[in-house]
Amino acid sequence: MTRLWIIGAGGFGAEVLGTLRSTWRPGGDGAVELAFAVDDPDADSFLGVPVHPLGDVAAGDSFVIAIGAGAVRRRLHQTLTARGALPFELTAPTAVIGHQVFTGEGLLLSDFTMLTGDLRVGAQFQCNIYSYVAHNCVIGDYVTFAPRVCCNGNVHIDDDAYIGTGAVLRQGTAEKPLRIGKGATVGMGAVVTKDVPEGAVVVGNPARPLERPSGS
Ligand SMILES: CC(C)(COP(=O)(O)OP(=O)(O)OC[C@H]1O[C@@H](n2cnc3c(N)ncnc32)[C@H](O)[C@@H]1OP(=O)(O)O)[C@@H](O)C(=O)NCCC(=O)NCCS
CA–CA separation, 81 and 198 (whole Å): 27
Number of domains comprising the chain: 2
Atom 32 in ligand 1: residue holding the nearest Cα? 212
Residue nearest to atom 5 of ligand 1 (CA): 187
Question: Would you name the residues annotated as active-site residues?
Answer: 135
| pLDDT above 70 (res 129) | yes
Assess whether 59 and 44 both reside in one domain: yes
Together in a domain, 48 and 97: no
Higher-pLDDT residue of 210, 22: 210
To test the ligand 1 pocket, which listed residue (16, 203, 208, 216) has its Cβ within 8 A of the most ligand atoms?
203
Instruction: Write out pLDDT tens, residues 23-46.
Output: 765 555 556 789 999 999 999 999
Ligand 1 in reach of 150 Cβ (< 6 A): no
pLDDT at 212: 83
Residue 45 lies in a domain: yes
**Per-residue pLDDT, 216:** 58
Q: What is the CATH number of the domain that holds 126?
A: 2.160.10.10
Exposed/middle/buried for residue 67 (C-beta within 10 Å: 0-12, 13-18, 19+): buried
Reported as a pLDDT band with limits 50, 70 and 90, residue 70 is very high
Domain end, chosen from 62, 88, 114, is at 88
Query: What is the overall mean pLDDT for the chain?
Result: 95
The Cα-based distances of 71 to 75, 76, 120, 134, 169 in angstroms read: 6, 9, 20, 25, 22
Confidence of residue 213 (pLDDT cuts 50, 70, 90): confident
CA of 78 to the centre of ligand 1 (A): 30
User: Ligand 1 atom 37: the closest Cα is on which residue?
Assistant: 187
30: domain CATH number? Answer: 3.40.50.20
Q: Distance, CA 200 to ligand 1 centroid (Å)?
A: 13
Domain that holds residue 196: 91-206
Give me the mean pLDDT over the 193-197 stretch: 98
If asked whether residues 120 and 193 sit together in one domain, one would say yes
Is residue 189 within 6 Å of ligand 1 at its C-beta?
yes
